[in-house]
Amino acid sequence: MKKTVLLGTVAGLAAGGALAQNSSTLEQVRDRGNLICGVTTGLTGFSAPDANGEWQGFDVDLCRAIAAATLGDPNAADFVTTTGQTRFSALASGEIDVLTRNTTWTYSRDNDLDFEFAGVNYYDGQGFMVPAELGVTSALDLDGATVCIQTGTTTELNLADFFRANNISYEPVPIETNAEAQQQYLAGACDVYTTDASGLAATRATFENADEHVILPEIISKEPLGPAVRHGDPVWGDIVRWTLNALVTAEELGITSANVMDLAAEAGDNPEVNRLLGTEGELPEMLGLESDAFANAIAAVGNYGEIFERNIGESTPIGLARGLNALYTEGGLQYAPPFR
């Protein structure tokens, strides 16, 4: 009798586990009442807690936009810190719903690790930062240098390729997080710090004497950074993809956090604005969202341009130019398919 009860419990647990895995990510998020995003352990401008412990940054805002679109509340987002090594396990195991952690979209991550990248929110490339007093002007001068590098990243592989292709040697110092890398670099335990150029700019902005460090001109790789979700739940992938597209489209159409509520109050002259904000047609409903989902997202964090300028733009200490990340109408690569 007791054994039957035990076996029954085990079977019940197994069935429960299986059921929990079968429900879609959107349902899980709605049942839970919050969205869980994987972010960095701290990269100013992209994802870092501010003085009040509130997460702020470019990637954080994307997460809040998704929370606003799916749950109607940008503050219903929880953040789980991940390192370069733990991020994929966290996503694959379901610990997080979406990875918004300047993660490079590559072929093998998409296909071998079985993730879906829902677009590119920052076009980046790998660069090098060195102390100005070394007098180094090109990455090709770095023969024999000690290089700090975050382990478990694409930059690790690019670095090996770059030095091998140019037939110069280096000493890698593998490091777990950006904060540790920064500390090692400032202590002079390595001559060079390499990561995505945006990350270098963000890190340098936090230095006491930012002028004493230069970012070398070479960009040695393509690093399209974007949000990633698990493979096998296409609707959830579409929600993330189209939330990002909505933010980009909003900038293109001139919808800002200031005017979005007025525009969403009633249908206006521009049909694409109407469709995006849910006053015409049923686009958000096709994904199982409320009609004002994208309007909520834009109201919460602003359009793509606003998010960029507020967190990492030229008016911030990080001071990144739009460059490749300008809208296609302004010579950049940010281009969202039409809301139709």
Q: What is the DSSP string of 264-330?
A: HHS--S-HHHHHHHTSSS-HHHHTT--TTHHHHHHHHH--HHHHHHHHTSTTSSS----GGGSBGGG
Of 3 and 340, the one with the shorter C-beta distance to another protein is 3
Kindly provide the b/e burial profile for residues 265-287, where b requires at least 16 CB atoms within 10 angstroms of the residue's own CB: eebeeeeebbbbbbbbbebbeeb
Contact mark string toward another protein, 221..260, x via CB under 8 A: ---------xxx----------------------------
> Between residues 175 and 312, which has the closer beta carbon with respect to another protein?
175
Helical pair 58-71 and 304-311, crossing angle rounded to 10 deg? 140
Q: Of the listed pieces 154-162, 195-203, 233-241, 243-251, which binds another protein according to CB under 8 A?
A: 154-162
- Give the residue, chosen from 151, 206, 257, 291, that forms a contact with another protein under the rule CB under 8 A: 151
Q: Note whether 174 binds another protein by CB under 8 A.
A: yes
Q: Tell me: does residue 164 bind another protein (CB under 8 A).
A: yes
What is the spatial distance between Cα 270 and Cα 81, in angstroms, rounded to a whole number?
Answer: 41
State the sign of the Cα–Cα–Cα–Cα dihedral 29, 30, 31, 33: positive
Q: Is 20 in the site for another protein (CB under 8 A)?
A: no
> CA-to-CA distance for 219 and 290, rounded, in angstroms?
42
Residue 3 found at the interface with another protein (CB under 8 A)? yes
Say how many residues touch another protein, by CB under 8 A: 46
Task: Report residue 162 CA to chain centroid gap.
Answer: 25
Q: How far apart are CA 80 and CA 40, in angstroms?
A: 8
Q: How far is the CB of 142 from another protein (least distance, A)?
A: 8
In the window 80-139, what residues touch another protein (CB under 8 A)?
84-85, 88-89, 92, 108-109, 112-114, 134
Shortest reach from residue 321's CB to another protein, in Å: 31
Q: Is 35 in the site for another protein (CB under 8 A)?
A: no
3-state DSSP assignment of residue 33: coil
Q: How far is the CB of 145 from another protein (least distance, A)?
A: 4
Sign of the Cα torsion 90, 96, 101, 104 reads positive
CA separation for the pair 338, 324 (Å, rounded):
20
E strand residue ranges, the chain: 35-39, 48-49, 55-56, 77-81, 98-104, 115-117, 122-124, 126-131, 145-150, 170-175, 192-196, 213-215, 223-230
Among 69, 90, 173, 301, binds another protein (CB under 8 A): 173
Nearer to another protein, 161 or 262 (CB): 161
| Shortest distance in whole angstroms from residue 239 CB to another protein | 20
- Residue closer to another protein (CB basis): 113 or 235: 113
Q: Is 43 in the site for another protein (CB under 8 A)?
A: no
CB of 157 to another protein, least distance (A): 5
In the window 183-222, what residues touch another protein (CB under 8 A)? 183-184, 187-191
Q: Can residue 54 be called a binding residue for another protein (CB under 8 A)?
A: no
* Interface pick for another protein out of 27, 50, 143, 212 (rule CB under 8 A): 143
Which residues in this chain contact another protein in the complex, by CB under 8 A? 3, 10, 14, 21, 84-85, 88-89, 92, 108-109, 112-114, 134, 142-146, 151-152, 156-157, 159-161, 163-164, 170-176, 183-184, 187-191, 230-232
